[in-house]
Structure 1
Amino acid sequence: MRYVKWTFWGTILLIVLSFAHYTLPQHDIVRIVGTNTQRMDLGENSWFFAAPDVGTDGTISNSRDVKFIQAIQQDGDPMVYRNEDTGWGWPPYFKVNSFDVQAAATDLTSTEASPKWVAITHYGWRNQLFTIFPNAVSVRQVAGPDVSIWPWFNTLFIALVAFLLLMLRRMWLQFRERTIEPAMDDVNNALDAVDASADAARDKARGLWSRLTGRGK
């Protein structure tokens, strides 16, 4: 049972960490080499795409134009981002300016000979097998490829979640100490009283039987 317990909680932890890693913002320092808009016929991967852009026909969700930003990472590997509005949906970035982001990304396009390094804030994953792209939330030019951006939001968010979990655990321990444990003690005392009464009744019945059968003489 111990292995089942640890497997269960390990699976829950893995799901929570994967969800947080997909949802929380990340920062990449890249060089933008192009932007384009491509028609996408979404299938099983539609879970990893945002809803249609704000103001467009939301009923046509499985086939639509998606804006993309092509980039080169610091190590020379390519990286492609989608650029979609999140609107009022999940995750709660409230992004409604995908066209402005696309214009800024196009303006920051550069070549290897004359690079412009850009910080792209995004969420999500890149997976070539399932055709999944991270969603670019914002783009801005930075001084160079060695710029380091500390994830302040993630730090504060994780600290807040940890604080809330500690408070919930403390409240649960106090609730258990003040309510559940006394109730369990009352139940155990009641069961002990019932057992004692049963033992007394059994002894009384044995004594009566002995007197009736004459075995007590």
Structure 2
Amino acid sequence: MVYVKWFVLLLFWTLFAAFLHYSLPKYDVVRIVNTHEERIDLDDWTRIFWSDPTAQSKRLMNRDVQFIQGVRGNGRTIVYRNEDTGWGWPPYFKFDTANLYTEANDLVSTKTDPQWVAVRYFGWRSIFFSIFPNAISITPVDGPEDKPFNWFSTLFLITFGGLFGYGYYRWRRFRRDRLSPAFDEVSDNFSAAGDAISRKRNRFQAWLDTWKTKK
């Protein structure tokens, strides 16, 4: 039973960590090499990794999606999708897909004359499942090492850790001061009731044995 408990806890925190890693913003410093638009099928489980900002889009089995192609300073490639998040999750309230696409096109550069940009995004990149992170904003930077500090994610995780730690501390105190005494009292009451029943049963048995002897 202990192993099942730890397995459930490990599974829960692993899924929660994955959820945060997917949803929280991250930064890449890249050189934009191209932008394009492509028709994407949305007829399998990977649909959850594509935005559904409108009720109409939820009924579509495929749609046109804008992409931004980039190359990192180490030469590795990365492709971002450019979709509105609307009022959905994560709550980035992105409605400027067209503007961002225009900015990306304006910042396209070559290897000989690079223009480095910091792309703020959320999500994951999976070649096998054709999953792409969603670009939120693009900011020009001086070089491939000029990566912005991720203030939002850092402050969020510190705040969340503090609130969780405080909540856990208060729960431990509540369990120690309120629940444990209440459970102990209930256990004592059950024990006392069991002892009383046992004494009555013994007295009845003694009376029954006496009655049988007299007969």
Q: Give the alignment's TM-score, normalised by structure 2.
A: 0.91
Aligned length: 213
Task: Tell me which residue corresponds to 1:16.
Answer: 16
1-structure distance, mates of 2:78, 2:33: 10
Encode CA deviations 1:143-199: one digit per residue, 9 max, x unaligned: 001113221111111111112212221232233233322221221221122122123
Q: 1:59/1:27 Cα in 2 relative to 1: closer, same or farther (>3 Å)?
A: closer
Paired letter, 1:15: L
> Do the aligned partners of 1:126 and 1:134 also contact (CA within 8 Å) in 2?
yes
1:65 equivalenced with 2:64 (yes/no):
yes
Paired letter, 1:27: Y
2-structure distance, mates of 1:212, 1:57: 87
2-structure distance, mates of 1:66, 1:35: 11
Structure 1 unmatched ranges of 5 or more: none
SS in 2 for 1:102: helix
Task: Tell me which residue corresponds to 1:3.
Answer: 3
SS in 2 for 1:28: strand
SS in 2 for 1:132: coil
State the Cα RMSD in Å. Answer: 1.9
> Do the aligned partners of 1:122 and 1:135 also contact (CA within 8 Å) in 2?
yes
Paired letter, 2:112: A
Structure 2 unmatched ranges of 5 or more: none
2-structure distance, mates of 1:191, 1:2: 26
Paired letter, 1:212: W
1:112 equivalenced with 2:92 (yes/no):
no
1-structure distance, mates of 2:198, 2:42: 72
Task: Tell me which residue corresponds to 1:159.
Answer: 158
1-structure distance, mates of 2:27, 2:11: 27
Task: Tell me which residue corresponds to 1:180.
Answer: 179
Encode CA deviations 1:18-45: one digit per residue, 9 max, x unaligned: 1111111110000001111112222222
Which aligned segments of 4 or more residues in structure 1 are displaced greater than 4 angstroms? Answer: none
Q: Which moved more, 1:103-112 or 1:180-189?
A: 180-189
1-structure distance, mates of 2:207, 2:67: 93
